[in-house]
Chains A and B, each alone.
Chain A
Amino acid sequence: MNVLVLHFPGAKRAALFNDERLENLRRLMDMGCFGALAASGEWNVLARQENHTLSLMEYFQQADKLCVETTNPVTLREKLSVGDWDYLQYTAASYPADNWSADDYLRLDQEVGEALQELSDDTVIAILGADCFVLVSANNPISGEYSGGVAADIAPTLVQLTGFPLPSAAEGTSWVAGMELNNSSGLTADEQQILRDRLSGLGYI
């Protein structure tokens, strides 16, 4: 299972979630969950241990996972196209720090759309704005709008969605703690009905 985090520090929820032109983002929102994120803690800090803060990336590194952190869109594209990573974290640096224009949001959507092209189905995707998130994963039991989340919850939630154990000193709260993760391989059952649908109206049959 791979983790892809796309962080757009300047993107604001009000614009991000209400712009109908953002097709890729909206598709992801429908596939997973999304919502506001209160500014408590840091999204990429998993745990604080004495003098050390354990970042999400360090945690995966300790588990022998190949981790990449970048602000360079070229590196992002390279990594996505080759696929030799387990954890890929991209912080978009080429956007305004604040006061995004409508075009900036459109660009975000395009960047997201391009990033999706080469993923495998078992990728956990987190898209983070200044005050909001979209979280997509095949096994994510939460769908639709999720309220009450804080930034510190992101790291533990991602860890649980990948199936790794949470460290005891985890700072935030995983939203999927204690929930049954849907790890079965989606498509099954009524194939025949779908077939009938596909073939109906042919006339010859």
Chain B
Amino acid sequence: MMKKVIVIGLDGFEPKIAEAMMARSELPNLQNVREQGGYARLGTTYSAQTPVAWSTYSTGTNPGGHGIFDFLSRDPKTYLPVMALSRYEQKNAFVLPKVVNMRRGIPFWELLSARDVPSTILRVPCAYPPDPVKGRLLSGVGVPDLRGGFGTPTFYSTRKDLHADQSEKVVAVNVEGDRVATQVIGPRDPKTKSDHKFDIHIQIVKEENKIVITSQGQPDKLEVQLGKWSKWLKVRFKVGMMQSVTGIVRFNLRQIEPEFELYASPVNFETEEPLFSISHPKEYAHELAMKIGRYYTAGMAEDHDGLNLGRFDEAAYLDQCRIVMRERRRMMEFELGRFERGYFYCLYDTPDRLAHMFWRFREAGHPSNRHHGYNAEYAGAIEEHYRECDAIVGEAMKAVDDETLFIVLSDHGMNSFQRGLNLNTWLYENGFLALKPGVQPGESGDFFQNVDWDKTKAFALGLGCIFLNLKGREANGILNEEEAEQTRQGIERGLSGLVDPERGAVAVRSVSRREQIYSGPYLHEAPDLLVNFSEGYRVSWDTPLGGVPQGLFVDNHKRWGGDHVIDPALVPGVLLMNRTFRAQSPSLVDLAPTILNALGVPKNAEMEGSDLLS
């Protein structure tokens, strides 16, 4: 039995890169763990996504046991995509809404708590609202920004020809003398449907390449250097005559002249009075901020949108990733410093968010490079970042003693995303999805606008999910069980082995039925079919929100050039432990039993895996 289990999570850490680097002795600390115990590729979940995979890690069950199948799901009453991780429930118009976690099942730290074994859990995905735990828990992926989404940044510019993409705000500003008066954009007012705003006054100090932002916030004067990330500004939005909410925002000054351009991060919850609790105990998030300084609280801390939309460049994104890593490392060091027994977990999300954006530089021929340029300087950016991760692992190992089980793992790997499949268009062309009379693909917007539900048998949303339009389940369901079976078979036949004619490559390896890959109490919430893509492919950008664009295959032109939502067999994660373990196909469901057993607590009946150390 162990006194401590320390788990360092490296989101999206890709085994092929890690293995090559270990072979070249570039990851000495990981190599050290490997030599003490072992290394293996770690089986991930259907599908290979952060919320799905970490929920399986937490509960020890397949997604049918915890109910998280994708970032997105659909509302069967409206066919609209909805956030699948949590939802807001409001008993009536007079009380505050409550956040409800859609990850069900029992996370193993509840079993530990019941046996009085303490936990320190930093940034675990899908624990929002935070799970009550003996010890401390800081929520990770799933915590929204102040607008309630995964993160809406704002771009201020004197250019008049800029338009906001769907995941940002663009504010046109005027420079008067050396001054700009504008506002930070806060939460929407559900009544007036306008945005709450917070006034800021910008003074441009041209000769020093900086601006000074003056406001009622904290600090009252904030300096922002050209090309650099500012410190946090605490802002307060009056959301009524009587109520206000606070948040924190940081800036990156892109340009002073000829155009003035300033980027503002999504407004994160502030820890002292967060809109909703993000930690257990509730005060813990703030206690931590008092020790290590303000930190990103949003589940998606890295501003990948800012880079994806070209509001800042790769260098600025790397800077920001470093900030996130640094503050996460401070959290980890502070907590490891007082960690004596039980379970410790700290997740680093950045390896995933960084690799999504820098993968294209590994492949000179990546279609994204034709649009955004190729820079050989970044070809090794992921490796460089992995070395930083290795140093963090080395730091964490300082807390390891003879009675510590030390685990490093990733939830899935990373791969190339060069070509996208318009899954709804494929369904349309093959007679499974119908558009209203006279409407052609490309003329139908997202959110399934113009889909003729009375003639539609199946529709796709999220990252490769297909739902059948079942009678009695979907609002305008048309399929009875027999027709449903025919539809399943038709889609399986048509999609499996689907070839991308332009490249002559197989784009879809197979299609899985939910009954083949899931079991448990939430099976009925799962998508009916899951599409397993080949390397280099993914659903297109238009698919997740229910678009039906023209053509089947499209090049991926976005800077987001790496992805992992493909056949899970192709994107396992990594697993390293400082004890010899069963290297025969370990998978994410095995971690909960392993950790529980190490701490002398029996697993529960729902857990499907087994102790890797026995």
Please report A residues at the B interface, Cβ cutoff 8 Å: 23, 26-31, 113, 116-121, 123, 125, 136, 138, 144-145, 186-187, 189-205
- Chain A residue at minimum C-beta to C-beta distance from B168: A200
On chain B, the number of residues with a Cβ less than 8 Å from chain A's Cβ atoms is: 47
Residues of chain B contacted by A195 (CB below 8 angstroms): 80-82, 447
Could you name 19 residue pairs across A and B whose Cβ atoms are closer than 8 Å? A26-B240, A26-B242, A125-B94, A191-B80, A195-B81, A197-B147, A197-B148, A197-B188, A198-B83, A199-B149, A199-B150, A199-B167, A200-B152, A201-B167, A203-B150, A203-B353, A204-B544, A204-B563, A204-B565
Tell me the bound Cα distance from A168 to B16 in angstroms: 85
What 9 additional pairs, Cβ within 8 angstroms, besides A200-B150, A203-B353, A205-B541?
A: A28-B94, A117-B91, A117-B92, A195-B82, A202-B167, A202-B300, A203-B304, A204-B563, A205-B167
- Chain A residue at minimum C-beta to C-beta distance from B88: A198
CB distance from B193 to the nearest CB of A (A): 6
- CB–CB A200/B93 < 8 A: no
At the interface, is chain B mostly helix, strand, loop or mixed? Answer: loop
Tell me the bound Cα distance from A31 to B94 in angstroms: 8
Residues of chain B contacted by A123 (CB below 8 angstroms): 92, 94
CB distance from A31 to the nearest CB of B (A): 7
CB distance from A79 to the nearest CB of B (A): 16
Tell me the bound Cα distance from A159 to B186 in angstroms: 38
Please report B residues at the A interface, Cβ cutoff 8 Å: 71-72, 80-83, 91-96, 144-145, 147-153, 166-168, 188, 190, 193, 239-243, 266, 300, 304-305, 308, 353, 356, 447, 463, 541, 544-545, 560, 563, 565
- CB–CB A116/B149 < 8 A: no
Name the residue among A26, A119, A187, A204 with the largest chain B CB count within 10 angstroms.
Answer: A204
Partner of B71, one of A187, A191, A194, A204: A204
- CB–CB A201/B92 < 8 A: no
Tell me the bound Cα distance from A132 to B274 in angstroms: 31
CB distance from B263 to the nearest CB of A (A): 14
CB distance from B542 to the nearest CB of A (A): 9
Q: Given A201-B150, A202-B71, are A27 and B96 also a contact pair (CB < 8 Å)?
A: yes
- CB–CB B193/A201 < 8 A: no
Tell me the bound Cα distance from A164 to B152 in angstroms: 46
Residues of chain B contacted by A28 (CB below 8 angstroms): 94
- Chain A residue at minimum C-beta to C-beta distance from B445: A192
- CB–CB A119/B71 < 8 A: no
Residues of chain B contacted by A26 (CB below 8 angstroms): 240, 242-243
Residues of chain B contacted by A196 (CB below 8 angstroms): 166-167
- CB–CB A116/B243 < 8 A: no
CB distance from B509 to the nearest CB of A (A): 20
- CB–CB B94/A136 < 8 A: yes
